[in-house]
Amino acid sequence: MKKIKIAIQGELGAYSHIAANDLFKDAEIKTCATFEETFKQAYDDENYRIIIPIENSLAGRVADIHYLLPKYKLQIHGEYFLNVEHNLLSKPEAKIENIKFVRSHAQAIGQCQKIINKHKFQSIISADTAGSAKDLSEGDDTSIAAIASELSAKIYKLKILEKNIEDEKGNVTRFLIMGKNIEQPEMNNQKKFITSCIFRLKSEPSALYKCLGGFATNQINLTKLESFSVKNTFDQANFYLDLEGHLEQPGVKKAMEELGFHTVTLDILGVYEASKFRQK
C-alpha cells in the first residue's frame, strides 16, 4: 500500500508535523522552507497533500496564507484543530541556570513571555520552532535554548527543561488539509459541513452589504469573514469566508448565487466536514 504524501512548512517536529501524524499514520513527510514552496509542491504534484496552519486562537491569522490561497487555488479537503503546547528545550548537558538566549519562531516567542521575562532570556527570532530545535542540536552552545514541541525534543535528542511554558493555556491552531484534486463529500443531513471561498467585490456602493444579505435571508451562519488587500493596491480587497453548510443545501446555494451576483471573482476553496472541535 502506497504511503500518503504530505508536505509541510518547517522542519520535522513542527506543529504541522504533529497534525500530520495525528491525521495520517505513517505518512511520507516532505519538509519545505516556506509556505509558498509547500503550496507549489501540491500544485506541481497532485499526489501530495499539504497541511497548512491558517489561524491561531492567540495570534490570529497566519501571514501569507491568504495570498497563497487564490494564487494556487488548491482545494480544502478538511480542517484540524491542534492544541499547541510549547516546551523549553536545551542540549542534554545544559542546565536552566546556564541559559542566556532562547530561540524560536516570533509567534512562539510572543506566546511564552512569562518564562522569558522570569529568567531574563534574550530572544532570537527564527523561521520556525522545529528549525530552532534542529539548529540547537547541531551546535555546541549550552547557553541557548529553543521553544518547540515535545516531538522536536524527541527527533533532535534534546532535553526538555520545562513543559507547557505558554503564557495562556488553550492555545489552538487551525490547520487546513489541502490538495490539487477536488474531493467534495456528498451531502449528508446527519453531518455538519464547512464551505470556504475567496471573493472580490464589484466596486460599487454597499457591495459587501448586498452580497452578505443572501446569507442573512437564507439563515446561513458565517463562521469567518476576513478581508485582505490585493497586492500592490489599496483600492481593492479580497475576502476569505467560511460558512456552515454544504453547497448542495438549497439555502447555501441561494446565498452563494446572491454572493456571485455582487462579485468580480468568486473561488470555492472547498466543501468539507466540520471538525468535531467546533462542537465544544
Establish if 134 belongs to a structural domain: yes
Residue 187 in any domain: the answer is no
pLDDT in tens, 58-114: 778 887 898 899 999 999 999 999 999 999 999 999 999 999 999 999 889 999 999
Task: Give yes or no: residues 104 and 121 share one domain.
Answer: yes
Query: Strand runs (DSSP E) across 86-230, as ranges?
Result: 87-90, 101-105, 122-126, 144-148, 159-162, 172-179, 193-201, 222-229
Q: What share of the chain in percent tops pLDDT 90? A: 80
Q: Are 77 and 131 found together in one domain?
A: no
What is the reported pTM?
Answer: 0.92
Per-residue pLDDT at 215: 96
Note the pLDDT of residue 3.
87
Is residue 117 one of the residues assigned to a domain?
A: yes
In the chain, the number of structural domains is 3
> Does 209 share its domain with 253?
yes
Assigned domain for 184 exists? no
Q: Which of 179, 211, 246 is the last residue of a domain?
A: 179
Q: What is the per-residue pLDDT across 180-207, written as a single tens digit (0 to 9) for each?
A: 998 889 999 999 999 999 999 888 888 8
| Residue where the block lists cell 522570569 | 118
Task: Pick the last residue of a domain from 179, 208, 241.
Answer: 179
Q: Are residues 69 and 93 in the same domain?
A: no
Q: For residue 219, give the CATH number of its domain.
A: 3.30.70.260
CA distance 206 to 260: 15
Range of the domain at 49: 5-83+172-179
Q: What CATH number corresponds to the domain at position 19?
A: 3.40.190.10
For the annotated catalytic residues, the residue numbers are: 173, 175
**Is the same domain home to 103 and 150?**
yes
